[in-house]
Amino acid sequence: MNQPPNSQQEEPGEPERRLQPRPIARPSVDPALAATFGRPRGVDGSFDTLYRPDSSHRNGRSAEAAVPESLTEAFGRPPGADEVILQRPPDDSGGRSAAEGESPLWSSTGDPWRDPGAGAVLGGPAVVADDDDAEDEERTRGPLLSLPEVVFGRRVKPTALALLGVVALLVGAAGGLVGWGLARTGDSLTGELNIAEATAGKERPAGSVADVARRVAPAVVSIEVKSGQSGGVGSGVVIDQQGYVLTNHHVVSQAVRDPQAEITAVFTDGTRSKAQVVGSDPKTDLAVIKVNISNPVVIQVGNSAELAPGDTVIAVGSPFGLENTVTEGIVSALDRPVTAPGENGDPPITYDAIQTDAAINPGNSGGALVDSTGALVGINSMIRTVGGSEGGNIGLGFAIPVDQAIRISEALVRDGHVNHADLGVNAASVAANTSEGAQVQNVLDGGPAARAGIAEGDVITRVGDRQVRNAAELTVAVREHNIGDMVPVRLVRDGRSLTVDVTLGSD
């Protein structure tokens, strides 16, 4: 049998031992708390004795509980009043309802949540507003007052009113003059600036970059080409009084392929002129267009053969469509063979370039490269960049020497096309990034090289007086000569060096 907790089993013969209850700790009660939360006076037991469910009590409330005198006075019935409610709702006639049997609890105007045992009930208003009294009587309008009557309270003569206006204007003008004078003399922080201006803005001696740019810029135009929904922007240089403009082939290549394309030349003064293609040479990236304009500014043509590395050069053009952009640099190298793939099926571009560190960007193409005297020494053509075709300048720009550009432009103006001297071989560099020569890949049957005995596999190392270090340099070395010239060509065959004479043909 389970034993109750905290109990001990009694042994026979031992006296009974029981745990005594602990004394109850009754803390002292705060008198303020006792007065607030204690039993009402005269109540000794619990509160439920006030609400015994006895038939002698009304609605469960003890009849012995006395109603406070203040509530009786505020909400009780007046002396001598026998009605249950203090006020009865009015009837439709505006008078007091005489119905004696209407219950105040369930009447149409009564409060359904009212305690039926309460001594009072809220009724309707004591006085019913009369609808006729609520309507405002229409007021009759009196005569409108004139402006003098409103301002002066009585009628004023027009002459007196005009005189008064003149006096007011004079007083306002006098006050304005006084305020202006006080404002000028009263504030020490404001006043009139007395700036000492220099007689000359800046010294620009002859030969300065600013002087060269001022003389060269009017001869450099911005070229806009539009073909259908596509187009491009480049630059050009006016080289003749008749309106011939020298530029790059890739600037106007869209117009060369599409006769419906439109070419517009924009001059520095904002003059716009339609232009037409005279001729182009995709192999050297040169083209000539003509504009219909009278008395254009023509650039002075220099001599690119007199340049030396370190000479100051200035590039003028429209990079990214920004007209009349001027940048300065030096000649980094001369006779730099460069090559680039042709556009839309055109042959590769190869020429002997002037390398410069003057900032050249897309849009400079076809613009002028001038020396420190302002003479044209090159046509800006391409740049070496990093990160794709939209990359910017990294200090490696290339221009076509003006000696070669003028010679080709003369042929284009004369014939509409140009032919170059050709060896009749296809060659490739012996190895990448080396200067060992150009190795013949194949020989054109019946061509100049075949007639001279040059065979496939030969490595060409010199053409005339110029050393050949790669395939690009072989091309430019051959194009330095005229068609029909006999040129000695040195080559290496099976480790043995030999020289052959080749009569150059035409491409």
* Active site annotation includes 250: yes
* Helix and strand numbers, DSSP H then E, in the chain: 10, 20
Dihedral Cα 68, 70, 71, 73, nearest 10 deg: 120
Task: Report the DSSP beta bridge partners of residue 501.
Answer: 488
Which stretch of DSSP H or E encloses residue 492? strand 486-493
The encoded tokens of residue 456 equal: 């496939």
d(C-alpha 148, C-alpha 127), whole Å? 49
**How far lies 333's CA from each of 330, 353, 396, 461, in Å?**
9, 8, 10, 21
Beta bridge partners, 421, equal: 506
3-state secondary structure of 453: coil
Q: How far is CA 30 from CA 25, 26, 46, in A?
A: 16, 12, 20
Say how far apart CA 464 and CA 336 lie, in whole Å. Answer: 18
Task: Select from 427, 431, 376, 435 the least CA-distant residue to 401.
Answer: 376
| From 281, 285, 352, 371, active-site residue | 285
How far apart, in whole angstroms, are the C-alpha atoms of residue 378 and residue 301? 9
**Nearest-angstrom CA–CA distance, 89 and 386:** 98
Alpha helices in 187-236 (DSSP H): 209-216
Please confirm, yes or no, whether 132 is among the known catalytic residues. no
Q: Which residues contact 393 (CB under 8 A, 6 or more apart)?
A: 359, 360, 361, 383, 385
Among candidate residues 222, 235, 249, 250, the one labeled active-site is: 250
In degrees to the nearest 10, what's the CA dihedral of 46, 48, 54, 56? 80
- Nearest alpha carbon to residue 352 among 482, 496, 205, 468: 468
Q: How many Cβ atoms are within 10 Å of 61's Cβ, its own excluded?
A: 13
CA angle 470, 475, 481 (to 5 degrees): 130
Name residue 263's beta-bridge partners. Answer: 225, 275
Name the pairing type of β-strands 230-238 and 220-227. Answer: antiparallel
* b (16+ CB within 10 A) / e for 94-108: eeeeeeeebebbebe
285 is catalytic: yes
Residues forming beta bridges with residue 301, ordered by sequence position:
376
Measured distance CA(58)–CA(398) in Å, rounded: 116
Both structure tokens of 491: 């080559």
Check 365, 381, 409, 429 and give the catalytic one. Answer: 365
Residues marked active site are found at: 250, 285, 365
